Amino acid sequence: MYNPPRFSVNAANDAKVTKTAHHPLPLDTYTILHIRPGPPWPEPGKTSQIAADAPFELSSDIWIERFDKEFAANIQRACEPANHNIDNHVWDRHLYAFVRHETEAERQQRQQPGTVVRDEGIIPLFTVMALSRLVRPTTIGNRYCAKIYPTPATDPVIQALTISGVNPDVTIADVSKDWLTPDDGPELRRLMPWVSPNKRMHPRVHRAFWSHEDAMRTYFLDFRLPIVVAGLESLTTVEKGRGLTDRFVRRVAKLAADFAIQLSETEIRQAYQMRSEVTHGRSFLYDLSGLLPQSDHRPLYEKLESLLRVAVRTCLLDESFGLRFANDQSVLKNYS
């Protein structure tokens, strides 16, 4: 198994990597680049950025690494349209990459005659990206996904992986610190057990987790607000029918108090009413200034998003807290 160059590489692994002036090439791997969205662009070594100086190990086969400039540009070139009758000038725009080594079992399966290569080996990296946004929201997406083959060793084949039916981009409000920091690494490492398909989240937490990720991949606030409210509903809603709004407001307020997030019952009720107006097609957010001034829409949304993020993260890291959402009875017991 290939180990990132920061860690020991034994003789058996030496055949998997080729030394360059900077670090070994990550041969036989899947990778997803985190691309700079625009200035200010952090400079590795001068900015508090994970993997700026050395790879950061997340698990036995997944890590974060900053590639050699030429190699990173080759990956971007492979993933971008070739154009027609115009040169495709590509320069290094990556901050770092999520990398996963292809296992021997996956490799053997791929090499079987008649096997259709589906490249499921990159799927765990999608989960890692989503988990990383529970620690710090970033714009890393699916646009620069690639499979790096083991040969040629000094200039390996790079296959772009087109992820059909999935939004390739992620949008966040503040890109001034659009990268994981060294302090974020240990927290993300603690979340890594949830990458395994054998470790199951409570259904409520699972739905809230993917609501958070869905919101990250949506540009319009009219879509993001209902998605985040739905994520909070996943955690707190039990009954149906009359009184649903009041129960949602009361329980989300208690959840916000758990994390000292300043979110009043009035604000939660406003958010739920706006969500209902938009979801049922009666209005756009800009029409709802009578319910809440338009200048307050984004700040209220950001409070809700922060609450959803910290609640899901805590559920995954603190088993006793996660049990609050294990079933209807536990929700009623803790958030009646």
270 confidence band (pLDDT: 50, 70, 90): very high
Q: What three-state secondary structure class fits 68?
A: coil
157 confidence band (pLDDT: 50, 70, 90): very high
* pLDDT value at residue 131: 98
Q: What is the phi-psi region of residue 174: left when phi exceeds 0, alpha when psi lies from -120 to 50, beta otherwise?
A: beta
Rounded Cα distance, 95 and 100, in Å: 17
210 confidence band (pLDDT: 50, 70, 90): very high
pLDDT of 170 > 80? The answer is yes
Sheet holding 94-101, edge to edge: 56-57, 62-65, 94-101, 29-35, 145-148, 158-160
The closest of 57, 71, 60, 63 to 97, measured between CA atoms, is 63
* pLDDT value at residue 2: 35
DSSP one-letter string for 144-200: TEEEE-S-SSSS--EEE---TTS------S--TT-S--TTHHHHHHHHGGGGSTTSP
Residue, of 262 and 53, whose pLDDT is higher: 262
The closest of 179, 35, 16, 38 to 101, measured between CA atoms, is 16
Q: What is the pLDDT of residues 312-336, one digit of tens each?
A: 999 999 999 999 999 999 999 999 8
Length, in residues, of the chain: 336
124 confidence band (pLDDT: 50, 70, 90): very high
**Partners of 98 in the β-ladder:** 32, 64
* pLDDT value at residue 269: 97
How many CB atoms within 10 Å of residue 5? 18
How many CB atoms within 10 Å of residue 264? 13
**In this structure, are residues 272 and 247 in contact, taking their beta carbons and an 8 Å threshold?**
no
* pLDDT value at residue 172: 84
Task: Give the helix/strand (H/E) hosting 107.
Answer: helix 104-110
Q: Which amino acid is at 210?
A: W
Q: What's the mean per-residue pLDDT of the chain? A: 87
Residue, of 118 and 6, whose pLDDT is higher: 118
* pLDDT value at residue 3: 41
* pLDDT value at residue 43: 63
CA distances for 290 relative to 99, 270, 281, 296, 301, angstroms:
48, 11, 17, 11, 17
Q: What is the pLDDT of residues 68-79, one digit of tens each?
A: 999 999 999 999
Q: What is the pLDDT of residues 7-65, one digit of tens each?
A: 333 323 333 333 333 568 899 999 999 998 655 566 655 668 899 889 999 999 999 99
**What are the φ and ψ backbone dihedral angles of 25, each rounded to 5 degrees?**
-70, 140
- Which of 84-93, 204-213, 256-265, 307-316 has the weakest average pLDDT? 84-93
Rounded Cα distance, 154 and 152, in Å: 6
**What are the φ and ψ backbone dihedral angles of 210, each rounded to 5 degrees?**
-80, -20
- Which of 135-149, 169-183, 287-301, 310-324 has the weakest average pLDDT? 169-183
Tokens of 65: 């690494």
